[in-house]
Amino acid sequence: MKFAGKLLRYFALLWILTLSLATLWDYLRLHPNTGYLHIKQFAVNTGYYLPFFYAHVIGSSVILLVGFFQFSKIVYSKRKLHRALGKIYILGVLLFAAPGAYLMTFFIQRGAGVFASFFIQNSLWVVSTFIAWRYATQGKIPQHVCMMRRSYGLAFAAVTLRFYIWLFTVLGNGVSFEHNYLIIAFLSWVPNLILVELINRYDKGNIYKPTTSQ
């Protein structure tokens, strides 16, 4: 079981590194016709889309990397490092990645169901991140850890979304097929939260064990 858990972590890290580094490589050049932006020129032409887009994609790339290592017991044992990375994560979500995601949601043009999925996901992300921060300031560490898992599970949707798009493209009709994008939109974050809730419920570690007051 421990081997399977480690294997899953390495697999997740591989996808995070691939997505984050590729995103930073593509978009740090700030070219308004790169990658995804190529099909969003109508949004780029509004004049206000690009700042929110860059805030989201660059901010998300950073917090995905930072958040992954926050759950390492090595990093957690170095309290100053853990707090510093935690501030980067929380500020990155609340001030950059999430606000950018809200604006981008209005330009998806994939139907009401897809809009609702991303809007709900982003709202849960903001709420769980803010509550996790409040728990940390109150010294409620078990609750903080459980809520941060929820927050990161929602952040990780950026990875699972790309994975499912790739999977549907390789094995099926891609995202253009009727209802495929709607399925992918919910698959990208709902199973993540279910897995997080299972981890929170059954984790027996001393530091991570939820309390009855949660």
pLDDT of residue 9: 83
pLDDT, tens only, 69-119 = 999 889 989 999 999 999 999 999 999 999 999 999 999 888 899 999 999
Domains of the chain, by residue range, sit at: 2-202
| Tokens (6 digits) for 93 | 């979500």
For residues 47, 50, 53 and 57, what is the CA-based torsion angle, rounded to 10 degrees?
180
Q: What residues contact residue 184 under an 8 Å CB cut-off, 6+ apart?
A: 161, 164, 165, 168, 175
Identify the weakest region by mean pLDDT among 23-32, 162-171, 179-188, 199-208: 199-208
Does pTM surpass 0.85? yes
How many whole angstroms separate alpha carbon 142 and alpha carbon 206?
A: 9
Is the CB of residue 210 less than 8 Å from the CB of residue 143?
yes
> How would residue 140 be classed by pLDDT, with cut points 50, 70 and 90?
very high
Q: What residues contact residue 50 under an 8 Å CB cut-off, 6+ apart?
A: 32, 37, 44
Task: Determine how many CB atoms are found less than 10 A away from the CB of residue 213.
Answer: 7
Task: Determine how many CB atoms are found less than 10 A away from the CB of residue 94.
Answer: 16
pLDDT, tens only, 161-172 = 988 888 888 877
pLDDT, tens only, 40-79 = 999 999 999 999 999 999 999 999 999 999 998 899 899 9
Angle at 126 between CA 77 and CA 93, to 5 degrees: 60
pLDDT of residue 178: 60
> How would residue 206 be classed by pLDDT, with cut points 50, 70 and 90?
very low
